[in-house]
Amino acid sequence: MYELIRSNKRRSTLLVAGFVVVVGIVGAAFGLAFGGGLIATVIALAIGAAIAFASYWKADAVALAVSRARPADPDQYARLHNLVEGLCIASGLPKPGVYIVDDPAPNAFATGRNPRHASIAVTTGLLDQMNRVELEGVVAHELSHIRNYDILVSTLAVTMVGAIALLSDIAIRTMWWNGGRVQRSGDRSDRANPMAAIGFALLILAPLVAKVMRAAISRQRETLADVSACQMTRYPPGLISALEKLQADTTVTHSASTATAHLWIEQPMSGVGDEGHLAGPHRWFNTHPPLEERIALLREL
């Protein structure tokens, strides 16, 4: 179990470093596409850094707002608050904000910058379908995300993907308006710059690569959180039973979006498990490993 935790942490570190590299590539592509060289590259990187920094401080509030989460009333949701408090005391964590999402699909997520600035949200469908032991397993899974600083990694992934996508979109739209041509000094011809074509290709590919990397980060972190949750509760059958119920339920989480899909305990969007000629490429963008794989791993603990 501990080797799995160490392996997942190493991979996540490498993937975050990869995000930094991709941002740098986007900056370089920006410079190539516009013939601005180092100046255009520095400007693009500065814009990306500013977007990521601003989003980092507000990403948790945005995720809660997008998911239409509301604070869980301590009296109405006493069972949930008691579970969260008990697990936090046992694991030495400060109690996060507790939120409810009015959605019939059973699901949950955690968000925030660090353990002192974190929140967990569960859907009404989860509360309706899970018994106390199963709900404890799900809550422990989300608290594990907080304890392992997965919420920080996920937030950085969201902001970096957003910065990469926005920079690429700005550059592509600007090149489209300009006809994809760069006039050279002393040359009024409309010949296309081959370096601009290379930059254009990189700008198209960068968002796709970033999304695949974000999905890879999320998949590694979900496995780590499952194992950590069992360590926290000392009772793997509780989380196994919860995951089996999630596997049997096919309700789409309508409160989720593509931007927040990787935060939830299971893949919240429709289309999971689709087969066909494009099944392989579709799995590249899956933010979660298959539930049957997660259940099989927990059974081996």
Residues 190-209: tens digit of each pLDDT: 444 565 666 667 667 776 77
Q: Count structural domains, the chain.
A: 1
What is the domain extent for residue 187?
2-269+278-299
Q: Identify the pLDDT of residue 215.
A: 66
Q: Identify the pLDDT of residue 75.
A: 96
pLDDT tier, 189 (very low <50, low <70, confident <90, very high otherwise):
very low
Active site annotation includes 142: yes
Residues 37-51: tens digit of each pLDDT: 677 667 767 776 776
Residue 186, by phi and psi: left (phi above 0), alpha (psi -120 to 50) or beta? left
pLDDT tier, 185 (very low <50, low <70, confident <90, very high otherwise):
very low
Q: Catalytic: which of 142, 275, 292, 293? A: 142
Please, are residues 241 and 156 in contact by the beta-carbon 8 Å criterion? no
In whole angstroms, give the CA distance from residue 263 to residue 242.
17
